[in-house]
Structures are given as structure tokens and as C-alpha cells.
Structure 1
Amino acid sequence: MRLLFIGDIVGRAGRTALIHRLPALRARWRLDFVVVNGENAAGGFGITETICEECLAAGVDAITLGNHAFDQREALVFIERQPRLIRPANYPAGTPGRGANVFETAAGARVLVINLLGRVFMDALDDPFQRIEQELSACPLGIGCDASVVDFHAEATSEKQAFGLFVDGRVSLVVGTHTHVPSADARILSGGSGFITEVGMTGDYDSVIGMDKEEPLRRFTRRIPSSRFEPAGGEATLCGVAVETGADGLARRIAPLRLGGALCPAEPDFWND
């Protein structure tokens, strides 16, 4: 199966890059399933129903979230009727929406998508390690699903790497999100799971993690906020990671994806045949 995960969509620049590039990528690489993190899609904070529908119409199969999941209050309502929008599974019981779901591809394969929040340097939610055990027990790879993708939305690289090792051999792909700067360690772990510590954002990199640089610079140098953070509006780099799985659902090939904008380009060469 051919899977693509696209990193945090930041503001209009990120949405534009996704909507313009994804249809061609799906057709060119004959992608089976696409997951996108959309928690910064609406002005850098949260997601709206209109933006969610725009992403799905562009060819996204599932949208994961993070610590900004409910910054747009309408998300508390529409997430209940949108099964393709996945919020972190370790939010407290009773939180609207779902933390995991199984989707069927056009070819009939089943893909499990799980979203979790880390706890180091972030709001302390339920234990993500315990929660992933529950989700994987309920839907084991090769039995309940043919492939599985986990978005671990976390700050600390140590926590992300520990989490990847914890689920290695039991999921197809573990992707770190949240810190917006892509790491250079896309690889297949010893147990067969694809992994990257941080996939990076889809946004304007002439910025401070996607935000227009003037206000962050003022806050760092003067220690006094003077205005709201606003997403940078220049050309975005679309960042992601591509994985091909085998019959057992584990990763066989993995490569980073970077298209457009300020970063050095990269794309998988194993689908260009």
C-alpha cells in the first residue's frame, strides 16, 4: 500500500500548497491513502468545517489534529459528524469526536489512523503509551486493519523517539508532528515500522514555525507582546513522508517529501517508475 502523511498545514499558505499539489501527487504516485495534520489550518490555530471539507475535496483521506484541535469553537460541533477528522485519543473521556478510526481505501484495504498528544512540555493529558495499547489491542495490524498510521503530536524529540520504539512492529507508520521543523531521520525501525521524529509543517518557512516573524522577534527581544501571531503568507513548502507497506502491513520503503518554498526539495524516487 502507498501511504502519504503531510505535516501540519499552517494558515492559508499551507492550505494553498496542499490543495494545489495533492491531486497531482495522488495521480502521479497512485496513492492509496493520504493523512494530513490540520490543527493549524485556520489562521494557524485550529480548523473550521469549511477548511476541513476543502482538504478532503483535494484528496485527503483523514485529518489529524493536536493541541489546537478545538481553538475554533465550531470544531466542538462538526467533529461529531465528520468521521475523517481525528483528534488526539488521549483527551479525557467525553471530549467530542474520536481519537482513532478505520477507513477503507478505493481498493478495499482497511487503514487505521490514530492521533495522540505527548505530555513532555505540553498539557498533561492521559498517558499516550497506555492509550495506544488500547487502540492497537482493539484493532491489531493484519487482523483489524491492513495498514496503520499514528500521528504523535509532541514537543520533545526524546518522547517521540521513545513512542516510535514502543509501537515498532505493530504499526505501519509513526509520524511526529507539532514542532514544524522537519527532522532528517526518516527510516524503518528494527521491527518494521516507518518512523520520522518530526515531519515538518506545510507552510511558509520564511517565518518562526509558520508565524509571521515580526511578532515572535518582538516577543523574544522585548519580552512584551504587541499583537497576535499571524501565519506567514509567502510560498509554502509542502512537507511530508511517503511509505510503502508490504503484505504484512509493515513498512518496506520510506522517504521524506519537501516541495516548493524555501527548503531543499526532496521526494521519494521509488514511485517514479
Structure 2
Amino acid sequence: MFTVLTIPAFNDNYIWLIKDSQSQRCVVVDPGDAEPVLATLEAQQLIIEAILITHHHHDHTGGVAALIADNPEIKIFSKAPLFEGATLVDDNDQVSLLDGRLSLNVWQVAGHTLDHIAFFNEQVLFCGDTLFSAGCGRIFEGTHQQMYQALLRLKTLNENTKVYCAHEYTQNNLIFALAVDPTNQDLLAYTKQVSKLRQQGVPTIPTTIAQEKLVNPFLRCEDPGLLANVQNLLAQPIVAGEPLFKALRTHKDHF
């Protein structure tokens, strides 16, 4: 049995801690800052077994060095050789953790960065800055085609999979989503739900694959209603699928 704890960092980052109920060990995902992680470890008397890194950006890796200094036995899993001794993983690899009780698959999801990977199983998805609730990451190193294919891939996961992305961007993403998809009733209902959560200071993450398929415009690029809305909004002909994704992502970059 595992519990995923939320560790807020910086202004809007989330670091994820996978806590093992059968031991005092845990796995940490994308520790951009060591201080809040160390505070959680101390408060719950936990020991880090492994660190999972989705991509190289500093707000996802900045705390790794301090955590390793505190415990040199920590295993690190990443696609790029970011830290000495790290285990490099790639597309379709599997990571076995906590004496084999936790297995996570690895998918390459380039787009935001070229080294971006996601860790997942039937219950959880740790997707870094690829998929957000009602949004997706900016394309810094990859191409629109890579990001579109990455999102299509994540869309195939079990609908009940909990999506643990790395930022609290949901409300801002919803402003854009409503601008391009204003008649989506699921989106309107979700916006009210998210507003209540944020008023209470509660994270909107995790979301689920099922929820995102209903409200996230970047996962709905085959939807004829969304296509018509965006064509009218941008006053240009657009084809469904990847061209619509590119139009949406480009519009969001300047929104």
C-alpha cells in the first residue's frame, strides 16, 4: 500500500513523495527544492530510497544534490545523465522500487524538453511538465509533433489513473480552456469545482485521465466543436488533430 504526499515548493511547484506503508521508506519525484522534502522526511520519520526525475529543469532537480548529500545511498532514475551514479532509463523501461512492491513504467514524452519522461502504472502517472490539468507544458526543446504524440500516448492510459503533474497551473489553464471551448459543460462544471478548491487552499492535483479527456483542450484535438470554436476565434481554417494542437499551443503561448 502506497500513499502519495503533496509537498508544495516555490510559488506553484509540487514535489511528490510516494510513502510505503510497510516501511519507513519513500520515493521522491522531481525534488526542485530539498528543504521542504527534508522537513517532510523528519516529520514523518521517512528515508528516501529513490528519486525519480522527469526532466532536467532546475525546478525539478535543484534539491537532488542536497538530498544525496544527506543520504548517499539514494538511487536516482532519469533519462539524461544529470547526476553521477544515476540509473538511466528510457522508453518502455520499468523501474522496480521498495523491494519490488512498486513498479513504474517509463515512457518518453519529449516536447517540453527532449529528455522528458513519465513514470506510471495503472494507478498513478507522474508526468512532470508534459500534461497539466486543463493544459500542457510549453514546448522549449522539442516540436509540436513530439508534444502532440506524447499527449496522445498519455491519453491512452486507464481513465482512473491519477495524474500527478508538477505545477498548480489549473486555474490559469482553465481561463484559456474556457476561451477556446466556452460551451463545454464539463469544463464549466470543473471550473466551479476548481475555484472552490483554491478558495479553500486545497491543491487541484491530482486530477485523472478521465477528467482531462473531458476538459483539457490539448487532449481534445479531434473534437469538432472545439475545432469550430478555434477556427472562429483565430479566423483561419484549421484541421483537426496535430494542426489544431499546434494552433492551440501557439495561441496559448501568447494568451
TM exceeding 0.5: no
Highest CA radius of gyration, 1 or 2?
Answer: 2
The structure with the greater share of residues assigned to helix is 2
